[in-house]
Every structure is written in structure tokens, then in C-alpha cells.
Structure 1
Amino acid sequence: MGGFEVRAARAADRAAVDALHEREWGGPYVIAHDTRYDLRTLPTLVAVADDRAGTADRAVVGALAYRVGADGLEVVSLVAATPGGGVGTALLEAATTTAGEAGLARVWLITSNDNLRALRFYQRRGLRLVGVDRGAVDRARRLKPEIPLVGEDGIPLHDELVLELRTDVDG
């Protein structure tokens, strides 16, 4: 992969990261497993465009916000400015490295039942489906009413799917 570098977000990246979250999630808040997260408060990895012009201002082309807990490193948000360019893969690999370096046994995340593109993306990168929380999206609408009733591909939006990648074992 090329054309970008992955690193920890800096204060100067905030506006660009916020713009990605606004585009993807309608703002800085996401709901997962009955918890409301403010993405602005979470550790974030960013992908920034290569510095070919020798300038200090490089465009943020992707962001991965995460939290660390006893249950591993949870990817709370993963956004690429332009899907299909390797940014999401590089950010996910960096998160996995971060988890491994911290001695965490897994990287995990939640996606909704309608998000077939995300399911394909994550499974192709080794994550496995390990749980379904029936009705979780229905409950999330109480905290974020703008969550639609019907999601991608006309699929009714009701459930959260839990995927994980174990960092402590093979496959």
C-alpha cells in the first residue's frame, strides 16, 4: 500500500477527522452495545497522504477511533475518505499492532446487520463473527433517533454483529 502514512492523530488533525465522522456518522457520536461514544474523546489513528510536496499540512484520508478495555481493543469507528484504496486495511493493521503491543488478546468491533460491505471487508481481513445482539440497533434509536429503520441494500436495520480478530492465537 502506498500514498499514505498511518500514525496517531494529532491536535492539528481534529477538524479533518471530525469532517470524516460527520460524513459517515452524522456527527461525533456513535452508539454501540448500548453505549454512546463521543469519537472526539477516543484515541485515534489516522492515515495521512504522503508528503510529496514537502508541506507540513497533509490531508487526513482515514481515521480509526478505538477504546481499550479488559475485553481487548474495540474499533469504535473506521472511516476512509475514499473506500478501496487500502486506507481501511492499513488502519486496521495498525490497530491490531497496537493491541498486540499492549498485550491485548483481541481486536473487536460492532457493525450493523445491514452493512454487507463492512462484513465482507472485515472477514476478508481475518475477523470472525462471534456474536449477534438482536434488537441492539432498535435500542440505539432511543439514544440516536436519526438512525434509519432501513439500511444499506434495503435491509431492515435491527441488530448488531460482533466481529473479532484474536491476536493471541492463529486463526
Structure 2
Amino acid sequence: MAMSVRAVEPQDLADVTRVLTESWGGSTVVAMGRGELVDAAAQPGFVAELDGELAGIITYAQRGDSVEIITINAVIPGKGVGATLLDAVRAVATERGAARLWLITTNDNTHALRFYQRYGFDLIGLHRHGVDRARKLKPSIPAEADGIPIRHELELELPL
């Protein structure tokens, strides 16, 4: 299977919006570390394709000397899509002279936490009740997943 990655282009907007809506309930997400609503579909990003089929999408934003991962979605799991997408953003961040990549996930997202740490991210912060604050901006954030209450934000970074 051949995987390719390319920058999101205007013709990808429908696919990006569909994937974000299926995963996040819409293209608007809470940039949790900043406590603001962000249209992830309007952010720069990359599309991964596996044998010509949409395999994943990542969106990001540069903030000063940091690049924040806004969303990452592997539509086809278990094929290295997530790591390939992170590699693409990491290359852009390095090229731009960023000091770090960073992201926020939630306390219930144990699969993602394992993935990010295996990739090389380090857990650097716990924002207690951060999701409770985020729900004020986006009330549709679920209360629990897999029987785990979703309450806290976990901040991870990858120094570059």
C-alpha cells in the first residue's frame, strides 16, 4: 500500500469538513489550551491518502515559536497514518524554526495518549477541569467516553 501526504487544498474542503464533523461534531473545535473556538477546516493542514483513498487529516496553527496540532484524524487506523501526518507537520515546523510541537488531548483519550508518547511527545501539563470550561464554548462535547468522565486536558509537547 502506497501512502502519500500533501497539503490541504481548496478542493479538499468537503472531505476535511466531513471528517471533522464525523469526529468532532463539526469543523469548529475548542482550541483547548487557548479556550477559543477555531474553525479547524480553515487552518492549514495535510491530507494523507492510502492507495488514492482518504486515510487521514491533520490541522495545525503556528503561534509564535510553537506549532499547535489542532486536530488529527486517522480515517484508516493501524496503517501509520497518524505518524505520517505528524511527520508532515513536524517538517513544516522545523523548516519554520519552531521550537516545539504541542497539542492537547483529554483525560479519556488513552489510545491517543499512548500514540503521542510513542511518537516522542512528553506530557507537560494537566489542566484540571479544562474540558468543563471548553463545554461553555461548545456544549456538545460529550460528558464521557468508554465510561470515563471527560473532564481534564492533558498538554503534550515535542521539542524540535
TM-score using structure 2 length = 0.94
Map of 2:48 onto structure 1: 47
SS in 2 for 1:141: helix
Map of 2:66 onto structure 1: 72
**Which residue identity lines up with residue 72 of structure 1 in the other structure?**
S
Encode CA deviations 1:18-41: one digit per residue, 9 max, x unaligned: 111111101101111211111121
Map of 1:8 onto structure 2: 7
C-alpha contact 1:45 1:65 (8 A) present in aligned 2: yes
- Equivalent of residue 157 in structure 1, options 147, 150, 159: 150
- Equivalent of residue 140 in structure 1, options 134, 139, 153: 134
* Cα distance in structure 2, aligned partners of 1:3 and 1:122: 23
Unaligned runs of 5+ in 1: 51-57
Residue 116 (1) aligns with residue 110 (2) = yes
C-alpha contact 1:17 1:60 (8 A) present in aligned 2: no
* Cα distance in structure 1, aligned partners of 2:2 and 2:21: 24
Matches for 1:58-137 after TM superposition, within 5 Å = 58-137=52-131
C-alpha contact 1:61 1:81 (8 A) present in aligned 2: yes
Encode CA deviations 1:130-164: one digit per residue, 9 max, x unaligned: 0111111001111111111112x311111100001
C-alpha contact 2:90 2:101 (8 A) present in aligned 1: yes
Encode CA deviations 1:72-126: one digit per residue, 9 max, x unaligned: 0100000011211111110001111111000001010000011000000100000
- The RMSD of aligned alpha carbons is 1.2
Larger fraction in strand? 2
C-alpha contact 1:29 1:37 (8 A) present in aligned 2: yes
**Which residue identity lines up with residue 147 of structure 2 in the other structure?**
G
* Cα distance in structure 1, aligned partners of 2:131 and 2:147: 15
Q: Which has the larger radius of gyration?
A: 1
